[in-house]
Amino acid sequence: MKIRQDAWSHEDDLLLAETVLKHIKNGSTQLRAFDEVGDELNRTSAACGFRWNAVVRNQYDNAIQQAKRERKQRQRQVAIQAVAPQSFSSPQTSFSPPMEEEMSLHKVITYLSSLSSQSNDRYAVNQENSQLKEEITALKKQITSYQNELKQLKEKYTSVEEDYKSLIEIMNRARRMAFLGDEDRNMTSSFRMDKNGNLEKIAKAE
Cα-trace Rg, the chain = 43
Read off the pLDDT of residues 57-83 as tens digits, 9 standing for 90 and up.
999 999 999 999 999 998 888 888 877
At residue 105, the pLDDT reads 65
Q: CB neighbours of 46 closer than 8 A, spacing ≥ 6?
A: 34
At residue 104, the pLDDT reads 58
The secondary structure of 107-119 as a DSSP string is: HHHHHHHHHHHHH
Mapped onto helix, strand or coil, the DSSP state of residue 71 is helix
- Other C-beta atoms within 10 Å of 49: how many? 19
At residue 89, the pLDDT reads 45
Walk along the chain (206 residues) in steps of 10 and give the mean pLDDT of each run. 79 96 94 95 94 95 94 88 57 44 59 69 66 79 82 82 79 70 52 62 54
pTM to 2 decimal places:
0.40
At residue 26, the pLDDT reads 93
Which is nearest to 35 in space by CA: 21, 22, 25, 49?
A: 49
Measure the CA–CA gap between 16 and 85, rounded to whole angstroms.
Answer: 40
At residue 163, the pLDDT reads 75
